């Protein structure tokens, strides 16, 4: 089931359900394209039809962040829980380890995906991994593609930032069974960016913690109040149409 938030349809799956969908896809060699949709992306898709089509045509669209969970509830069609890119990555690693999946990390500054991969492999040695940084020129792109192609990943995680990673995946989804945009997750896996403490996450204030640690995000996060207003408007329009 999918719920409509500002024209973007989001799956209501829980984290375990999402992981199981991915496991089945990898085991069955069935292509799967995943988008973790956060409020910024949903808001941006309002004026970007290409992005909107790409998100809505993905096989799985998760509620990335508490803002999306709130919007779904507010619109009367709740999702089960938030399924962020980094949390989904971390939930997939034990399965990837057990099944000895081939996992490719594409993105981040030079050295970051390498460090992320090493950290992950220390804990989950069953994972066969490859990596490439996300700062390649158009001329270098074919080498990156060849590297991924030769690696034959079960899962390709692309951390080039949204929406570029979504465009990139749509163009190169033949490279892996499962493709997923993961934003800045490699920075967190590499230990470059520290996530909010668990208690802060439980209080659903991770966005505030991130703003404190990375104040330059202020401009990007300023989209949140506009997102809220648009959601409330969608709710109002829906309600008034139903009376």
User: In this chain, which of 135, 203, 212, 236 binds ligand UDP, going by CB under 6 A?
Assistant: 135
**Cβ at position 99, least distance to ligand UDP in Å:** 26
Task: Quote the CA–CA distance of 72 and 155 in Å, as a whole number.
Answer: 28
Tell the smallest beta-carbon distance from residue 177 to ligand UDP (Å).
22
Q: What is the smallest separation between the CB atom of 77 and ligand UDP, expressed in angstroms?
A: 25
Residues 200-229 that bind ligand UDP (CB under 6 A): none
Q: Which of 176, 183, 223, 231 binds ligand UDP (CB under 6 A)?
A: 183
79 belongs to the binding site for ligand UDP (CB under 6 A): no
Tokens linked to 173: 């989804």
Among 65, 67, 117, 159, binds ligand UDP (CB under 6 A): 159
C-beta of 26 vs 108, nearer to ligand UDP: 108
187 part of the interface to ligand UDP, by CB under 6 A = yes
Distance CA 196, CA 211 (A): 11
Asked whether the beta carbons of 97 and 124 are under 8 A apart, the reply is yes
Q: Is 116 in the site for ligand UDP (CB under 6 A)?
A: no
Asked if residue 108 binds ligand UDP (CB under 6 A), the reply is yes
Nearest to 50 by CA among 189, 131, 187, 163: 163
Tell me which stretch binds ligand UDP (CB under 6 A): 24-32, 155-163, 171-179, 222-230: 155-163
Binds ligand UDP by CB under 6 A, chosen from 78, 147, 161, 204: 161
Spatial CA neighbour of 224 closest among 41, 59, 92 = 41
Residue 216 burial (C-beta neighbours within 10 Å; 0-12, 13-18, 19+):
exposed
How many residues form the binding site for ligand UDP (CB under 6 A)?
13
Answer for which of 39, 67, 107, 117 binds ligand UDP (CB under 6 A) is: 107
Order of strands across the sheet with 155-159? 60-63, 32-37, 178-181, 155-159, 102-107, 128-132
User: Does residue 136 contact residue 144 with C-beta atoms inside 8 Å?
Assistant: yes
Q: Alpha helix locations (H) across the chain?
A: 15-28, 39-44, 49-56, 66-74, 85-99, 112-123, 138-151, 164-172, 185-189, 198-202, 206-213, 218-221, 223-242
| Residues 37-66 close enough to bind ligand UDP by CB under 6 A | none
Residue 7 interacts with ligand UDP (CB under 6 A): yes or no:
no
Provide the binding-site residues for ligand UDP, judged by CB under 6 A.
107-109, 134-135, 159-162, 183-184, 186-187
């Amino acid at each position: 089931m999918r719920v409509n938030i500002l024209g973007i349809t989001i799956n209501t799956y829980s984290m375990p359900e999402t992981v199981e969908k991915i496991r089945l896809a990898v085991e069955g060699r069935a292509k799967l394209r995943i988008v973790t949709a956060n409020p910024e992306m949903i808001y941006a898709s309002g004026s970007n039809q290409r992005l909107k089509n790409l998100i809505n045509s993905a096989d799985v669209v998760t509620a990335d962040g508490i803002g999306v969970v709130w919007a779904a509830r507010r619109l009367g069609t709740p999702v089960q829980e938030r399924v962020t890119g980094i949390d989904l990555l971390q939930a997939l690693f034990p399965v990837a380890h057990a099944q000895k999946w081939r996992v490719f990390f594409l993105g981040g500054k030079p050295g970051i995906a390498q460090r992320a991969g090493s950290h992950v492999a220390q804990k989950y040695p069953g994972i066969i991994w490859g990596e490439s940084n996300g700062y390649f020129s158009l001329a270098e792109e074919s080498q990156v593609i060849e590297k991924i192609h030769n690696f034959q990943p079960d899962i390709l995680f692309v951390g080039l930032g949204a929406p570029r990673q979504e465009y990139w995946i749509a163009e190169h989804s033949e490279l892996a069974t499962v493709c997923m945009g993961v934003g800045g997750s490699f920075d967190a896996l590499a230990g470059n960016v520290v996530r909010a403490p668990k208690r802060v996450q439980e209080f659903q204030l991770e966005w505030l913690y991130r703003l404190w640690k990375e104040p330059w995000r202020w401009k990007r996060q300023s989209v949140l109040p506009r997102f809220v207003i648009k959601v409330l408007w969608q709710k109002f329009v829906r309600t008034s149409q139903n009376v």
